[in-house]
Structure 1
Amino acid sequence: MTGDDARPADPLDLLALDDELSPTERETRDRVRALVDEHVRPHVARWFADAVFPLDLVPRLAETGLLGMHLHGYGCAGRSAVEYGLAMAELEAGDSGIRTFVSVQGSLAMSAVAKHGSPEQRERWLPGLAAGELIGCFALTEPTAGSDPASMTTTATRVRDGWVLSGRKRWIGLASVADVAVVWARAVDPDDDVAGGGEGRARVRGFLVPTTTPGFVATPIEPKLSLRASVQCDVVLDDVRLPADAILPEHPGLAGPFACLAEARYGIAWGAAGAARDSLDAALRHAGQRVQFGRPLAAFQLTQAKLVDMALEVSRAQLLALRLGRLKDAGRLEPHQVSAGKLANVRSAIEVARTARTVLGGDGITLEHSPMRHAANLESVRTYEGTDEVHTLVLGRHLTGHQAFR
């Protein structure tokens, strides 16, 4: 068919992927999309320009059930992996910084407590985090330990009445506005009753640190060219004294934080697809309205080629994210598959955002339009939760059986 009468209701859904979603999944997506349309899109350009994270948005995110939405109990929504992914796509279509908040709060901080915490720790922290009454952060990365967390130097030393944490962390999302930090450190226990692994040996453990604890100092990293509607911080831990029950009792070693990172990376695969789709949508709308040489841009072959290439990338990203979601709901999702989703979808989303900006011409460099903002944000997204290089090596190890990290 040809002509405007052949244009489908949603031209962006090339493969009719909407048919693959259940009514419940579509309802979740539409509910989050409505929240973004009403409370994010009208303001996000100003938040980005002013480098402000909108704390007043947190209660709305909580009311919509987005904080720890994939967790069960303690006031969490207990939604499926696909529903969680659809929500992340809609939030990142608004802005990566908003999705990042939900990811740090739910997939990192709350998941750490849910997966590795004691019943008492879950009761103390999870209800308030789910309700948005408390904010959490996840302190793993250090100034000299990014892609190589095993080289962290932050220590937690066992003393008679508890623990003393000392060290530095960097690029810690939400740290300056958080109420509690999940801090990962090398636990040194002279009696070796908790740290494990033989006398005097240190093992990575997680600790719950109220951010009002003396010695905990978080300083926002400024200025930034990316994730400006978000907060990332340097954290100093200067002899932070904690009670004995501050340690997360389960899963010593790097498997602890890695389990939480896998949750966040899964959400990123969906979120990147959302940013790509929003960029394509902005380009398509502009191309239909902007007239040059007596015709709309959308009527020119070169513009159509760009739109088609972007639409194919968006469809591929959505298919990949949905496949990961179905695997996760079936309990079959493997770490290398999460790496594939994060690597492929963020890489594609950046290219879509950059191409969309070219369709917008000079207007595309203004904050009136989303693609260049998405492109800038996605440079952070491709770096955190594992760089392109790290995920490439994860996949290389899966394909070849050879470890190539060192």
Structure 2
Amino acid sequence: MEVQVPLVDRTDTPTYREYLPADQAVQYLDPAGEPVAATARYPRPTPDRLVEMYRKMVLGRRFDQQATALTKQGRLATYPSSRGQEACQIAAAMCLAPTDWLFPTYRDTVAIAARGLDPVDLLGLLAGDWHCGYDAAAYRTAPQCTPLATQLPHAAGLAHAERRRGRDTVVLALCGDGATSEGDFHEALNFAAVFRAPVVFLVQNNGFAISVPLARQSVAPSLAHKGVGYGIGSEQVDGNDPVAMLAVLDAAVEYARAGRGPVIVEAHTYRIDAHTNADDASRYRDSSEVQTWLARDPLARLETYLRAADLLDDSAVERIRAESETAAATLRERMNADRPTDPDDLFRHVYATATPQLREQAAQVAAELAAESEEIR
């Protein structure tokens, strides 16, 4: 497979061809986990990082399974699973420095957890809390974004601001294929390109914008090609190949940090589960399609590779799985505890100085709660 590195040096004046992604998605492991003869010039991650990536992927998948179960127990209002996209999620977290920023979507809880956030805190939004559940500034992780693509201009703006302050901060903004059909996506790319903002746009192309297949959204050769029109370095990668994902994102972050401008990376992956627990995916896709992608499982792929390279054995696998089970049990126990609520939070953080209408609404709620309490007594 012939692969060229399209990320260009902006000190020159490149032609549009230098912005093009590889003709085929970058791949280092085939679906069975066997190395392929790739000619991509991206440095491969070190063995230690790949073993740690495997550990984080196991923990992430178990977290995702437990969160899905919590919706059935009534502890979460909804949960969008990222099963099958673990390589994208973990690579997105691992390629960043602690001082960098992550801008996630609603489906990126596994990436957020891999940054070290408390799992209970990051599930706060989906549990119905009035805020995102964690201190975004402290963790340099923006609140999970539910509307498609609206976080992307914010990511570009923050990256530009950090560059103006003379900092080497890189921002990684996650989105799905559906987001590339939104105006915010194109505005963010154009702004980032014009101001050479150090932002990496990672498009997790999982095949569907809820029920709308990619073929009904775009006929471009790849979504990564959309960067060419804005003068943005671009690449496409096998999103279920953990080695390729980490290699490409490492290079993209380094490229942006060096002041060469933004990068768009398209990861070809698949959403194994339904859009959320409220969705019936069988209405718009065939089960045989899901089975095809199950055979490309990124976790099994990496485990096969690491075992063959004598970097992983049965005892290590069992130890990591036991760690994931302990983490899931702890999460389950903590999430099954009743969450403290204060109705005044509905009004406390809307305005610095409450408006007359807000005070009136707060008084109305207080009166209703008092009347209800009196009835109970």
User: TM-score, with normalisation over the residues of structure 2?
Assistant: 0.25
User: TM-score, with normalisation over the residues of structure 1?
Assistant: 0.23
Higher strand share: 1
